[in-house]
Amino acid sequence: MKTTLKIFTNWLVVLALLITACSKDSVEGEIGPIGPKGEQGVQGERGEQGPAGDDGKDGEAQGIPGEKGDQGERGPQGEQGPQGEQGPEGPQGDVGATGIQGEQGPEGQQGDVGATGPKGEDGIANAIQYDFSEHDFSVGSSSSSVVISKADYDITAWFAYLVNGNLVYAVPGSASSSNTTYRVQFSYSGLMTSAMVCNIIRTTGPGEVYSGIRIIGIKVNIGTTVGKVSHVLPDLDFSDYNAVCDYYGLKH
């Protein structure tokens, strides 16, 4: 055994000397061509996952807002669309409550003095009735005149009535409607023609249209009471037109 080991050792020494001698004296040859690529080996096992790295710094989420721009010009108006179909008619609503009466309007301008009416038929005790045409008191006051001397005017009591068909209403006061009231003003005018002038003026309410105006003049006795001159009239309700006509014999 020792002999074999010794021989093997000697051979190794000889081999080493030969290799050393060849490497000093020989010339290095050219590199040979690359051999073919070998087959891919079996993939090794996946290594363990490494530890997570530190979180990075947060970036700015939104930049600095820019300046507000100028408002743009208004665009042209678009064309009108077609009209839609008319919906069904709704049910009729309940009748509303009656509203409160409005304030009385300003009194209209006094109308021109009307033409002198024809002389009526004389009744008993010198009672005369004058008839005038229709008047619309919603427009303004009425003005009627009767030619008469100043002396006769002073001894005459005057009464005015509004005619609505077959009905006659005494004024001052309300007439055909309680919503309107009137006042009456008798005066004497001697400027151009000596005449009695009767103005009927609406004081409250809207005013109505009447088919005629009647004025009755009654010559009366003159009485004096405590220095005051007054007309002496019979005990008669002069607001009752029919009673006045019956008493003095005038036509209704």
Asked, for residue 244, whether it belongs to a domain, the answer is yes
User: pLDDT digits over 184-213, tens only?
Assistant: 999 999 877 789 999 999 999 999 999 999
Asked, for residue 143, whether it belongs to a domain, the answer is yes
Query: How many whole angstroms separate alpha carbon 151 and alpha carbon 16?
Result: 185
Domain that holds residue 134: 124-248
Angle at 182 between CA 177 and CA 184, to 5 degrees: 145
Asked, for residue 22, whether it belongs to a domain, the answer is no
**Phi, psi (degrees; rounded to nearest 5) at 140:** 175, -175
Here the tokens at position 212 are: 């005629």
Asked, for residue 157, whether it belongs to a domain, the answer is yes
Asked, for residue 242, whether it belongs to a domain, the answer is yes
Asked, for residue 239, whether it belongs to a domain, the answer is yes
User: pLDDT digits over 144-173, tens only?
Assistant: 999 999 999 999 999 999 999 999 999 999
Closest by alpha carbon to 216, among 178, 174, 171, 182? Answer: 171
Asked, for residue 34, whether it belongs to a domain, the answer is no
Distances from the Cα of 74 to the Cα of 77, 78, 79, 165, angstroms: 9, 12, 15, 68
Q: What percent of the chain has pLDDT over 70?
A: 69
User: pLDDT digits over 17-42, tens only?
Assistant: 666 655 544 455 677 777 788 777 77
Q: What is the dihedral of CA 224, 229, 230, 232, to 10 degrees?
A: 40
